[in-house]
Chains A and B, each alone.
Chain A
Amino acid sequence: MNALLRTADIAPIASSWAAPNALAVPNSLNAPAPRTLLRFLTCGSVDDGKSTLIGRLLFEAGAIPDDQIASLDKDSSRHGTTGGRDYALLVDGLAAEREQGITIDVAYRYFSTPQRSFIVADTPGHEQYTRNMATGASTADLAIILIDASKGVLPQTRRHAYIASMLGIRQVVLAVNKMDLVGFSEARFRDIEREARAALSTLDFTHVAALPMAARSGDNIAASSSAMPWSHGPSLLAYLEQVDVAPVEQGPFRFPVQWVNRPDADFRGFAGVVASGSVAVGDAIKVLPSGRTAVIARIVTAGGDQEAAQSATVPTLVLDREIDVSRGDVIVAAGDPIRPLKRFGARLLWMAEQPHDPNRKLRLKLASTDANVAAIEIRQLVDIHTYGAVEDTGLAMNAIAQCILALDTPVVVADHAQDRTLGSFILIDAISGATVALGVVDSRAAGGAAAALQSPGLLQRLFPPTGERPRRSVVKALTWRATGSADTFLLAWLFTQSAKVAVAISATEIVTKLVLYYGHERLWARSTFGLAQAPTPEDANSTHGAGI
């Protein structure tokens, strides 16, 4: 019998992994017509039905196999909180979660329709687990913010909206859920929509859609609801299928070196992900922080050398000359003005249960680089109700701060709004290894109370701040005055041969020109004209530190 079996089991297998086209593969076997991928998260306050909504979406999309539905019906009668089939149990994975009927950690779920594949991050509503919500938000293209129609906009709704915006999400669906509890009332829905849109108006979202629904009964989830004939919008699933997905990151070529590939003396390549832009063989590049330049000689992939590589791909780059490159360096286009910085503005979400203690050593991890944190200089803590400032009571769990981050070594960073890879980082406790904070680089955050989150005034729009603070202008004015007035005194003395006149001229000049210089300097401080890159505060010292 076994002999028979073995014969049956010997099926032809491809002989080489590296030759995917060695065997003819019928077209039907190739990947299905490339579907796009939408990563979204669901967030909102506790108990507004996030898990039920996702469970329902999975069910409606046919992603729940029959054996799991059977197991769901069994679990529903044991733990269910709703009577009948409890769709939330499909996604609450941990025993503690099922016992308590809440979601603790982010769960990832997968389903697809003919148009699109979806990766869903189901994130917890409890304030205590905000860090897990942020984890889910960090990779998402779109956020579904759930609002319980019987409760309206809650503090946690506003917190999650802020974090989603801070982490770069630009598209939002306001899912007004549990419409069945308010008699499917259009007036109630419109009230909530108005309130929610007002709450979100100062955030960075570009698209906000509001949809009424009832996840438990399936109203407006996969098909329009007969209970809400007044709602003419698409169902949630239809909306998700057609919404525009964030395009591949354009912008300048940026390639954080992740790993140096040196299998033998003949090959030395630099592996990583193209964080933004694209690169082609023959492109002139430079390596930061060293600033050394080279030309791209080869773009190596396992499928053969490529002429070019686009963003989000993971090639291995070979340069035309031997220069020192290691993990943590960033390869950029030769003309890219980006520079390494030792200090930069940032927004932080403190995630550790222990508040920040300035005596505890922290390390920053940004792209493939790390550095020691010298100081976190808080500019202001953000109030999650008004998105304005609150009293600075230090960084406790779930606090959001605008701050300046000072490092012991310069790191190549970019504003998060322009570059999600070089613009986001985590802070790690050097002793325990715990991730204590998540941050985004934001030069606006350095300016303090007034700068962030408010729409800029005319002056600021014409002359966006470059980050030079008045203190710096005062010192510059003083040092220049000392030099300039000494020169004036010497020249006046030389021409008039009178020390008395020379003293009078230079003494008057000290006062008038000090004031003139300060005014002149403050105007220039608002201009980025002629700068290699709009710097964040006090970065001048860091460029020296970088040795370029």
Chain B
Amino acid sequence: MTHLSHLDALEAEAIFILREVAATAENPVLMYSIGKDSSVLLHLAMKAFYPGKPPFPVLHIDTTWKFKAMISFRDETARRLGLNLIVHTNQEGLKAGINPIASGSRVHTDVMKTEALKQALDANRFDMAIGGARRDEEKSRAKERVFSHRSPGHRWDPKQQRPEPGRLYNTAKRPGESFRVFPISNWTEADVWAYVARENIPVVPLYFAAPRPVVERDGALIMRDDERLPLLPGEVVQMRKVRFRTLGCYPLTGAVESEAGDLAAVLEEMAQSRFSERQGRLIDSDGSASMEKKKQEGYF
């Protein structure tokens, strides 16, 4: 008898949570954002229900502004694992011409992500949505439960969270209420990468450094993934060796200059890093409490 290693303990905890969803939800769904955390989450789901398939579909909210490499990776992953993939885009938002460049990050996120997610959850009557959020990402997430209760309208009330002792997850809900469930709540960014390496989990190649066309804007390096990103006066597209620590809509996601072209190098670089991963996320920096506000409104 030995202690479980740190990663084995985290894996067991996540698998338990995924099965608890399958056992207690009427109509669960796994939120798939294509990033490394989602890749780990999918991998855990494949393990949790082995030799069966995960007993829920996989939902991607497509803002139409994701990196092209993300979309091709998404489709390849769904094919490889034989997943039931649902892709939803807020069509009204699209028709209204909402986009991250003209509308700004706040409106774009609100309409094309938060609203779109609510639409998809409501239309499919999903009562538990599994997500890959981690508590170490951001301060308000550090306070959220694993089974995060949402009132009708998907609102999160941070002051009325249910106590959640040990593995005793309270999954009781009234009509219209739902849950967001976060199996990898207790993982850190370093844990995720260590697990990706240990289990050989495929991730989007954008996480590894390669020469990519970027512009410098407000101190961030923005990759020009297609012609929709207008160049401001004085901006020039340069090829630089960059990689991404998190992935989102490409105009809102800052790259970091890096030589880390593979997993080993990324782990090495992380050990040296003095900056948090969400530093590259432009939507978080509207104010310290901005993520908490988005979450209350139903942002993942």
Interface of A toward B, CB cutoff 8 Å:
1-2, 5-6, 8-11, 13-23, 25-26, 28-32, 34-37, 65-68, 71, 75, 91-96, 98, 104-110, 112, 117, 119, 131-132, 134-135, 137-139, 167, 245, 247-248, 250, 258-259, 261-264, 267, 271-273, 278, 300-303, 310-314, 316, 327, 351, 363, 365-368, 420-421, 424-426, 428, 430, 432-435, 438
Residue B210 CB within 8 A of the other chain: yes
Residues of A within 8 A of B51 (CB): 261, 263, 267, 300
**What are 20 A-B residue pairs whose CB atoms fall within 8 Å in the complex?**
A2-B225, A17-B46, A17-B80, A35-B5, A37-B9, A93-B142, A94-B158, A105-B159, A110-B135, A119-B186, A132-B161, A248-B3, A263-B52, A264-B52, A302-B46, A312-B9, A365-B168, A424-B165, A428-B172, A433-B177
Flag if A95 contacts B289 (CB, 8 Å): yes
By CB atoms of chain A within 10 A, which of B158, B159, B163 has the most?
A: B163
Flag if B20 contacts A258 (CB, 8 Å): yes
Q: How far is the CA of A339 from the CA of B48 in the complex (A)?
A: 29
Residue B197 CB within 8 A of the other chain: yes
Residues of B within 8 A of A94 (CB): 139-140, 143, 158-159, 292
Flag if A95 contacts B198 (CB, 8 Å): no
Flag if B1 contacts A250 (CB, 8 Å): yes
**Which residue of B is nearest A119, CB measured?**
B186
**Which residue of A is nearest B197, CB measured?**
A29
Flag if A106 contacts B69 (CB, 8 Å): no
Residues of A within 8 A of B23 (CB): 258-259, 327, 368
Residues of B within 8 A of A93 (CB): 139-143, 292
Residues of B within 8 A of A11 (CB): 205, 208, 210, 262
Interface of B toward A, CB cutoff 8 Å:
1-9, 12, 15-16, 19-20, 22-23, 42-43, 46-53, 68-69, 80-81, 135-136, 139-143, 158-159, 161-168, 170, 172-174, 177, 185-186, 188, 190, 194-195, 197-203, 205-206, 208, 210-213, 224-226, 237, 262-264, 267, 273-276, 279, 288-289, 292-293
User: Nearest 9 A-B pairs (CB), nearest first?
Assistant: A263-B52, A138-B165, A34-B5, A93-B139, A433-B172, A13-B202, A302-B47, A302-B50, A95-B289
Flag if A65 contacts B12 (CB, 8 Å): no
Flag if B170 contacts A435 (CB, 8 Å): yes
Q: How far is the CA of A263 from the CA of B49 in the complex (A)?
A: 9
CB contact under 8 A between A108 and B135, given known A37-B9, A68-B276, A314-B12: yes
Residues of B within 8 A of A65 (CB): 273-276, 279
By CB atoms of chain A within 10 A, which of B48, B50, B158, B202 has the most?
A: B50
CB contact under 8 A between A29 and B267, given known A67-B279, A312-B4: yes
Flag if B3 contacts A245 (CB, 8 Å): yes
Flag if A314 contacts B15 (CB, 8 Å): yes
Flag if A67 contacts B275 (CB, 8 Å): yes
Residues of A within 8 A of B165 (CB): 134-135, 137-139, 167, 424, 426, 438
Q: How far is the CA of A313 from the CA of B20 in the complex (A)?
A: 15
CB contact under 8 A between A8 and B210, given known A93-B139, A259-B22, A434-B162: yes
**B20 CB → nearest A CB, Å:** 7
